[in-house]
Amino acid sequence: MVAQALNWVGGIDGFLELIDQRKLPGEFTKVECRNIVHIRDAIKTLAVRGAPAIGVAGAYGLVLSLQEPGIGDVSTEWLSVLAKSSEFLASSRPTAVNLFWALDRVRQRAEQLVSGRAGINLQALREAVLNEADAIYRQDVDMCRRIGQNGEKFIRQGSGILTHCNAGALATAGQGTALSVIFEAHKKGRQFRVFVDETRPLLQGARLTAWELKQAGIDVTLVCDNTAGWLMKRGKIDAVITGADRIAANGDTANKIGTYSLGILAAKHGIPFYVAAPSSTFDLGIESGQGIPIEQRAAEEVTTFGKTQIAPEGINVYNPAFDVTEASLITAIITEKGVIEKPNADNISRHLRKLANAKQGGGRLSDLAKDDNRAPQAGS
């Protein structure tokens, strides 16, 4: 397993350390984020990326916001700082719902503490906010392991697996989501081959996923994005496994651009298509994929390769970071709390409701199922 994508260093006066994923695989360097401007820039420029990792980074960003000098002794001022910092961090990337979920969770913890304890001081609040961010981190590590354990059964001996973008340790605090399934199957001693889409335009598959799998000693083959259909036609692919950045109430799933095409191709060739994602990725406040905001990124990501111009100057560019795969194309959604077969609004609601009633897990990742008011909202 590769090094941790992100790690908090020190106590309440500490900082967040990140692997700079913009420079992988050629250069392994780390970035120190010591204020929320650093955190937002790291998220915006993809130094840290992947929905779960972005959520964890956002939570620690609120810890950093309470380190700023000049914060007064009035509790309403502390909550105002957290609210403004949340809004600032949330503006970095609009699609990955885990960011909004984590920011809301930390703020709610702070509000509960301020309203429930008379005479609370800033020191105690800072410790509580750090503890909540740490809890999100630890639960993400556990969540990754559980997703892998719940999904490894779908990878058979000798099978060919196709994955897209990067949903591994670099995208989470733990061992990943889609790649966790692969890592757990590998731990079982199964032999299989993973085909990795390069994932244009930023090559997260080529730069990050291929690197992670090679580090883990897994049989990995890198292919161009437009090779997937031909591989399926030739019988080389037995399953497709991807991550997710946001899942609507009906199971429609937003993931890296190109995922929808894989869903169509898999359906055409009768190949199961699995999504691996934590419960916090569900946005029950959005009925379908039509309501998921899609981030638009800079034209330069398409028109240049490194510092080399590869398209005519001034050409029009359409560069969405994500697309939406309809639930009807998804065989199952693998979560840390179990597998949702044939995902639709009824099956998802039933699954989450059952978890809430059983009070499984004890951690707040399962709290998303308790009521729609706890579900992360777009732009919250």
For the stretch 6-23, pLDDT in tens is 999 999 999 999 999 999
The two tokens of residue 253 are 């799933």
Tokens 């941790």 label which residue?
4
Task: List residues with catalytic annotation.
Answer: 245
d(CA 191, CA 373): 44
pLDDT of residue 55: 94
Averaged over 246-269, what is the pLDDT?
A: 97
d(CA 305, CA 316): 17
Query: Is the pLDDT confidence value at 369 over 80?
Result: no
pLDDT of residue 239: 98
Query: Is the pLDDT confidence value at 116 over 90?
Result: no
pLDDT of residue 303: 97
Q: Sign of the C-alpha dihedral, residues 143, 263, 55, 350?
A: negative
d(CA 316, CA 331): 36
Confidence of residue 366 (pLDDT cuts 50, 70, 90): very low
Is residue 114 a contact partner of residue 75, using CB atoms and an 8 Å limit? yes
The two tokens of residue 154 are 């779908």
d(CA 247, CA 345): 11
Confidence of residue 362 (pLDDT cuts 50, 70, 90): very low
For the stretch 35-67, pLDDT in tens is 999 999 999 999 999 888 999 999 999 999 999
Query: Is the pLDDT confidence value at 373 over 50?
Result: no
Averaged over 242-261, what is the pLDDT?
A: 97
d(CA 35, CA 16): 9
Q: At what angle do helices 75-90 and 122-151 cross, to 10 degrees?
A: 40
pLDDT of residue 114: 87
The per-residue pLDDT of the chain, averaged, comes to 90
Averaged over 173-180, what is the pLDDT?
A: 95
For the stretch 265-322, pLDDT in tens is 999 999 999 999 998 899 999 999 999 999 999 999 999 988 899 999 999 999 999 9
Q: Sign of the C-alpha dihedral, residues 326, 330, 335, 340?
A: positive
For the stretch 23-36, pLDDT in tens is 999 999 999 999 99
Other Cβ atoms within 10 Å of 156 Cβ, number: 13
Of all residues in the chain, the percent with pLDDT exceeding 70 is 92
Q: Which CA distances in Å does 149 have to 75, 168, 175, 188?
A: 43, 14, 12, 10
pLDDT of residue 70: 82
Query: Is the pLDDT confidence value at 344 over 90?
Result: yes
Which residues are within 8 A (CB) of 226 and not within 5 positions of it... i.e. 6 or more apart? none
d(CA 166, CA 7): 19
Query: Is the pLDDT confidence value at 363 over 50?
Result: no
For the stretch 183-214, pLDDT in tens is 999 999 999 999 999 999 999 999 999 999 99
Task: Identify the residue with better confidence: 370 or 345.
Answer: 345
Dihedral angle over CA of 360, 363, 365, 367, nearest 10: 70
List domains and CATH numbers for the chain: 6-146 (1.20.120.420), 154-374 (3.40.50.10470)
Is residue 173 a contact partner of residue 56, using CB atoms and an 8 Å limit? yes
Query: Is the pLDDT confidence value at 215 over 90?
Result: yes
Confidence of residue 172 (pLDDT cuts 50, 70, 90): very high
pTM above 0.85, yes or no: yes
Alpha helices in 31-175 (DSSP H): 36-44, 51-65, 75-90, 97-116, 122-151
**Pick from 84, 28, 30: nearest CA to 61:** 84
Q: Which helix (H) or strand (E) holds 180?
A: helix 178-187
Is residue 260 a contact partner of residue 289, using CB atoms and an 8 Å limit? no
